[in-house]
């Protein structure tokens, strides 16, 4: 039931992945789920770049070197994490937004549509038993140096995917009544 999938969705981080590869057919299912996100004026702004295998290692190296180059006081542990996380994942998907050239909707609506596409991806991963995590480091502004991007396209982060062993801990939320005003 959809409510169970929503409640069971969790961030599962790369260090929790077991190294098992993710089938292309599962990635395609996840991307197809993304494609059905709501989109104002049907601009469908989501764009994805799927990385598996050797390109993941290159991504980690790029991110780490870019971090060391641009951060005035880099931390060794962060540089190492940037190298390792892509290699730990079964797949990394760059989450991008292609701005409508007509600017028929405000940019925030395009970003929201991409976020809804990512939520669909996350729910699909939950249903498939695949762990996932959306990372949005400041380094995403440099992704045009790593892969070709179209004019008015922006990278919004990385969707890490991986199989994991064991149980993911339950999560808690404060009651919705604390966040709702009935008028």
Known binding site: residues? Answer: 9-11, 40, 134-136
Q: Which fold has domain 2-167?
A: NADH Oxidase (3.40.109)
Confidence label for 52 from pLDDT (cuts 50, 70 and 90): very high
Known binding site for FMN: residues? Answer: 9-11, 40, 134-136
pLDDT of residue 70 exceeding 90, the answer is yes
Across 53-68, b (16+ Cβ under 10 Å) vs e yields: eeebeebbebbbebbe
- Give the pLDDT mean for 33-39: 97
Q: State residue 169's pLDDT score.
A: 81
Q: State residue 166's pLDDT score.
A: 87
Please tell me the distance from the alpha carbon of residue 91 to that of residue 93, in angstroms, as a whole number: 7
pLDDT tens-digit readout, 132-166: 999 999 999 999 999 999 999 999 999 999 999 98
* Domain extent listing, the chain: 2-167
DSSP codes joined into one string, 28-39: HHHHHHHTTS--
Confidence label for 116 from pLDDT (cuts 50, 70 and 90): very high
């Amino acid at each position: 039931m959809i409510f169970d999938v929503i409640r069971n969705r969790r961030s599962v981080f790369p260090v929790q992945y077991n190294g098992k590869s993710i089938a292309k057919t599962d990635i395609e299912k996840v991307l197809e789920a993304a494609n059905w996100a709501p989109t104002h004026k049907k601009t469908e702004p989501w764009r994805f770049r799927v990385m598996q295998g050797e390109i993941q290692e290159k991504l980690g190296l790029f991110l780490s070197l870019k971090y060391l180059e641009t951060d005035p006081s880099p931390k060794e542990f962060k540089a190492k994490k940037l190298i390792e996380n892509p290699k730990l994942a079964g797949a990394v998907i760059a989450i991008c937004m292609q701005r409508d050239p007509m600017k028929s909707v405000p940019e925030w609506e395009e970003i929201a549509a991409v976020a809804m596409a990512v939520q669909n991806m996350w729910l699909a991963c939950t249903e498939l038993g695949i762990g996932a995590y959306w990372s949005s480091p400041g380094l995403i502004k440099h992704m045009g140096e790593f892969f070709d991007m179209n004019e008015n396209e922006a990278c919004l982060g990385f969707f890490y995917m991986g199989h994991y062993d064991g149980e993911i801990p339950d999560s808690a939320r404060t009651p919705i009544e604390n966040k709702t005003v009935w008028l």
